[in-house]
Amino acid sequence: MLKKIVSIVGARPNFMKIAPIHRAFQKVDQTKFVHSIVHTGQHYDAKMSDAFFADLDMPSPSYFLGVGSGSHAVQTAKTIIELEKVFLEDRPDLVLVPGDVNSTLAATIVATKMGIPVGHIESGLRSFDRTMPEELNRIATDVLSDLLFVTEQSGLDNLRNEGIDFTKVHFVGNTMIDSLHYALPKADIKSTLEQLGLNRKSFGLITIHRPSNVDDSQQLEMILQVIQKLSESITIVFPVHPRTRKNIEQFGLQQYVENTQQCKLIDPQGYVDFLNLMRYSSFVMTDSGGIQEETTALQVPCVTIRTTTERPSTVEIGTNILIDPNFDTMISTVLPIIQGTVKEGAIPPKWDGKASERVVDIVTSYLQN
């Protein structure tokens, strides 16, 4: 009997986690297993989404729900309503949910209430900061999931400490690193650096988007002052998240980053273009979760401006440095990197580009039993 597996994507980081799983499913017997993708549209920009799907060789989603933005409650509720319709029509045998966005939790709730098994990609990660909505999504999703796919040792430790049934837990590695391995040849032939007038390892790359950093005018102003100061020593490339750009304008902070030759404000980039920038940067300063992992895989110095990280292997093993986001600490951490003093790092276990194959082997075995 044909088994249907549906993966849920809601935001761009989900694409990188699911794309290699889809490719791995194409290698199994298509008369026994079929994999499809539902895009909730939690975060959606037609240009960016289309670019990510093309960069990662993903098929068009079987369903696009167009949930859009809204409060966490509104977004989650709308996704629940729309996904119930999809699951009633499609009758999947298993639902895969990546990461920690609202779509992840919504899909888990709907599937569980309908008696459909759930597999959580990137299970067990914890920041231990319950003011982060993502943390609540992670915890609830792990409690309800039937298959928990873990990327790093901390995930195993956290799930064990939380009393999760360990027969459900599988240490498979990181599917997002699978996407990185897959996309590197494409990134190598991109002319992103040339178009921006950059040389390899001659610039720093900065991304900020978390509410704690960009929704408070004083915090955002301080970070922009850091960027301005760093640009005195090295060219800074700053792909500006829509939320960040809106707040820069709303708070009247454009003077810190505009009309400065050494600071290049650019639009958010497609996956391959951003990978090209990240690979050849001198360092990355970010508040993103996934970028911490990608820089570790690429062995690029990373400075994470957050008080916590749910990806401690990037700090304990990799190239990531976690720092408190204040002016003095940011400057004193990044300047030595610009001057050539960098943290040596290694690549965590099973970040070998084969995590998706392990996931598919486990899912197909589970559905056959």
Is residue 357 one of the residues assigned to a domain? yes
Mark whether 245 and 269 lie in a shared domain: yes
Is residue 270 one of the residues assigned to a domain? yes
Is residue 180 one of the residues assigned to a domain? no
| Residue-range definition of the domain harbouring residue 16 | 3-174+351-368
Mark whether 170 and 231 lie in a shared domain: no
Is residue 91 one of the residues assigned to a domain? yes
**The domain that contains 104 carries what CATH number?**
3.40.50.2000
pLDDT, position 46: 58
Structural domains counted in the chain:
2
Mark whether 196 and 309 lie in a shared domain: yes
Query: Residue 236: which of 337, 123, 113 has the closest Cα?
Result: 337
Name the DSSP class of 254. Answer: G
Is residue 231 one of the residues assigned to a domain? yes
Is residue 70 one of the residues assigned to a domain? yes
The answer to whether the CB of 49 falls within 8 A of the CB of 16 is no
Mark whether 127 and 269 lie in a shared domain: no
Mark whether 19 and 163 lie in a shared domain: yes
pLDDT tens digits in sequence order for the chain, 369 residues long:
899 999 999 888 899 999 999 999 999 999 999 999 999 986 666 556 677 778 888 888 999 998 877 888 989 999 999 999 999 999 999 999 999 999 999 999 999 999 999 999 999 999 999 999 999 999 999 999 999 999 999 999 999 999 999 999 999 999 999 999 999 999 989 899 999 999 999 999 999 999 999 999 999 999 999 999 999 999 999 999 888 999 999 999 998 888 777 999 999 998 999 999 999 999 999 999 999 999 999 999 999 999 999 999 999 999 999 999 999 999 999 999 999 999 999 999 999 999 999 999 999 999 998
pLDDT, position 118: 98
pLDDT, position 261: 72
Mark whether 95 and 29 lie in a shared domain: yes
Give the largest Cα separation in the chain, rounded: 64
Q: How crowded is residue 307: how many other Cβ atoms within 10 Å of its Cβ?
A: 12
Mark whether 11 and 156 lie in a shared domain: yes
Q: Is 170 a catalytic residue?
A: no
Mark whether 89 and 203 lie in a shared domain: no
Mark whether 84 and 190 lie in a shared domain: no
Rounded distance, CA 93 to CA 308, Å? 36
Considering 22, 72, 181, 209, which one is annotated as catalytic?
209
Mark whether 139 and 68 lie in a shared domain: yes
What is the three-class DSSP state of 363?
helix
Mark whether 170 and 38 lie in a shared domain: yes
Is residue 59 one of the residues assigned to a domain? yes
Is residue 163 one of the residues assigned to a domain? yes
> Amino acid letter at 70?
G
Mark whether 145 and 191 lie in a shared domain: no
